[in-house]
């Protein structure tokens, strides 16, 4: 491969590409667990639903902000790429936004409307979460194949949508294993066991479809010497999946031991998956169309943002950690009404 592509151009462009990637990864992990909880909230009774939603109540809004940051940085640092992505995905973006709207307001409406309408808002909360997860997965799928049309292009994106839904369900279930107790925690273990294998199915289906769309991804993966390094990734993923399967069989343990473990494993799976995903199109900012180095905005503006980011980031991490510390432990008693 052409290594010049990796390094030429403005270093700021690559720093911003990294920051965008980091925001998107954090978004997928963080909003992933609360969207997962949202999708799971439809199969429980009212009391459990309240507990589940209480466990994400203090966090969901900040989680969603990572998406705004990621898309915002893309807009700022790579305006041309932002334009191509969002106009190509006009309807999926709109559908995701409708989902985000309904889900976001349902947190409040479900408790702030007369009793007879609460069920409707609970349903909106579930549907909103599902629509967001599906549309995000579909969009990542479309993006990965460079928005190629055709049956397999669409099929790949749909399978990827299912993969993301399964991934978010896994995240949500693992979050609940950590934050819930008693019967709800036991059920969450069961949900996680289904979700992990659903994820495997989604991954296999999309991997099988990918070569019909575009051989570029496979050329990339199976050329020498990258393959030696890359082989490690699926091997670790498979090991993590098996380890997760094994751990879930043992949970919940006495004194709530290792309740954090499934969440840690699913985060590791997300990170690995994300790295693999990025590897398949780097150094492009839009697969097959636009290089990172070609698309960046003016350096003086990027510098200003970078300085701000460097100053704000430690605070941001600090108070986010503080919030998780304040709300550590089981989430059963969280409410404000």
Partner 1 sequence: MDAFLLSRLQFAANISFHILFPTITIALGWLLLFFKLRFARSRDPKWMELYFYFTKVFALTFSLGVVTGVTMSFQFGTNWPGYMNTVGNIAGPLLAYEVLTAFFLEATFLGVMLYGFRRVPGWFHTLATFLVAGGTTFSAFWIVALDSWMQTPAGYTMIDGVAHAESWWAIVMNPSMPYRITHTLLSSGLTVAFLAAGLLAYRQLKGDTRPAVKSGLSCCLVLAFVLAPLQAIVGDFHGTNTRDHQPAKLAAMEALWETTEGAPLTLFALPDEDARENHFEVGIPKLGSLIATRDLNGKILGLNEFEGLHPPVAPVFWSFRVMVGVGTLMIAVASIGTYFLARRGGQPKWFLKVLLRMTFSGWVATLAGWYVTEIGRQPWLVYGVLKTEDAVADLPPSHVGITLTAYLIIYLALGVAYVGSLFYLARKAMEEAPQQIPA
**Binding region for partner 1 (CB under 8 A):** 54, 57-59, 61-62, 64-65, 67-69, 71-73, 75-77, 79-80, 82-83, 85-87, 90-91, 93-94, 97-98, 100-102, 104-105, 107-109, 112-114, 297-298, 300-301, 304-305, 308-309, 312, 316, 319-320, 323, 326-327, 334-337
d(CA 2, CA 93): 34
Q: Least distance to partner 1 from the beta carbon of 337, Å?
A: 6
Query: Helix, strand, or coil here: 113?
Result: coil
Q: Which is nearer to partner 1, 103 or 193 (CB)?
A: 103
117/257 with CB nearer partner 1? 117
What is the nearest approach in angstroms of partner 1 to the Cβ of residue 236?
32
Q: Which is nearer to partner 1, 19 or 39 (by Cβ)?
A: 19
Residue 18: CB minimum distance to partner 1, A:
15
CB of 310 to partner 1, least distance (A): 10
User: Closest CB to partner 1 among 93 and 240?
Assistant: 93
| Closer CB to partner 1, 229 or 298, in the complex | 298
Q: Using CA atoms, how far apart are residues 77 and 19, in angstroms rounded to an integer? A: 10
Partnered with residue 290 across adjacent β-strands are 286
Please measure the distance between the N-terminal and C-terminal CA atoms of the chain and give it in whole angstroms: 59
Residue 332: CB minimum distance to partner 1, A: 12
Cβ atoms of 251 and 244 within 8 Å: the answer is no
DSSP output for 31-91: HHHHHHHHHHGGGS-HHHHHHHHHHHTTTHHHHHHHHHHHHHHHHHH-HHHHHHHHHHTHH
From CA 292, how far away is CA 189, in angstroms rounded? 41
């Amino acid at each position: 491969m052409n290594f010049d592509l990796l390094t030429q151009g403005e270093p700021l462009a690559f720093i911003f590409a990294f920051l965008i990637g980091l925001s998107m990864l954090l978004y997928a992990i963080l909003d992933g667990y609360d969207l997962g909880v949202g999708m799971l909230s439809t199969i429980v009774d009212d009391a459990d639903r309240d507990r589940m939603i209480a466990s994400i109540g203090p966090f969901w809004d900040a989680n969603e902000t990572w998406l705004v940051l990621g898309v915002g940085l893309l807009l700022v640092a790579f305006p041309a790429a932002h334009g191509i992505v969002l106009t190509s995905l006009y309807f999926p973006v709109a559908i995701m936004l409708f989902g985000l709207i309904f889900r976001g307001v349902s947190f409040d409406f479900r408790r702030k409307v007369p009793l007879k309408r609460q069920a409707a808002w609970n349903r909106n909360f579930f549907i909103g979460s599902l629509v967001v997860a599906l549309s995000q997965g579909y969009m990542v799928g479309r993006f990965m194949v460079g928005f190629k049309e055709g049956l397999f292009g669409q099929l790949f994106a749909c399978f990827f949508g299912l993969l993301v839904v399964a991934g978010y369900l896994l995240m949500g279930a693992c979050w609940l294993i950590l934050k819930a107790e008693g019967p709800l925690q036991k059920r969450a273990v069961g949900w996680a066991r289904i979700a992990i294998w659903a994820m495997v199915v989604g991954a296999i289906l999309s991997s099988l479809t990918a070569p019909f769309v575009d051989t570029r991804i496979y050329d990339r993966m199976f050329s020498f010497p990258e393959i030696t390094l890359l082989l490690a990734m699926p091997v670790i993923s498979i090991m993590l999946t098996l380890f997760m399967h094994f751990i879930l069989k043992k949970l919940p343990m006495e004194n709530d031991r290792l309740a954090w473990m499934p969440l840690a494993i699913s985060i590791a799976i997300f990170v690995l998956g994300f790295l693999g995903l990025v590897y398949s199109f780097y150094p492009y900012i839009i697969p097959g169309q636009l290089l990172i180095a070609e698309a960046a905005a003016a350096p003086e503006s990027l510098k200003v943002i970078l300085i701000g980011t460097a100053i704000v980031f430690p605070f941001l991490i600090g108070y986010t950690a503080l919030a998780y510390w304040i709300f550590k432990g089981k989430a059963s008693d969280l409410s404000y009404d």
